Amino acid sequence: MTNQEKKIRKYIKENPDVRFDLHLKEKLKDKEFKKLYEQERMKTEIAIEIYRLRKRKKMTQAQLAKDIKMPQANIARIEQGQHLPTLNTLAKIFDALGQTVNIKFGQKSICLR
């Protein structure tokens, strides 16, 4: 458990009446907190999607890693939300899972294959 997780658990124990949604809304007003929160949210969403697609294809982490010529430990770190992969790595992973990566910039979209 990280120090941040310990601080959060301690805060929750000490403040059981605080509603998380209201607390988060207030914390997101802080630009630095919001930046870090969005980075973690993005890593988590990517991790969940990769895990879900890999399981649907009935692939192991080792099989996926072999397909994209990457150590299995790297796939594990990505799926655990410990590492945010580059766009190139994302494209390789999603290609191996039979998917594409679409990135939207305002009205413009690009597809990574």
Domain boundaries, the chain: 18-112
Task: Please indicate whether residue 10 or residue 47 has the higher confidence score (pLDDT).
Answer: 47
Report residue 80 as tokens: 């655990």
pLDDT value of position 14: 84
CATH class of residue range 18-112: mainly alpha
Residue 76 has pLDDT above 90, yes or no: yes
pLDDT of 68 reads 97
- Output the six-digit token pair for 44: 């988590």
pLDDT-wise least confident of 19-23, 30-34, 48-52, 77-81: 19-23
Within 13 Å of residue 82, how many CA atoms lie on the same side as its CB? 8
For residue 21, give every residue at least 6 positions away whose Cβ sits within 8 Å of its Cβ, in sequence order, or none: none
9 confidence band (pLDDT: 50, 70, 90)? confident
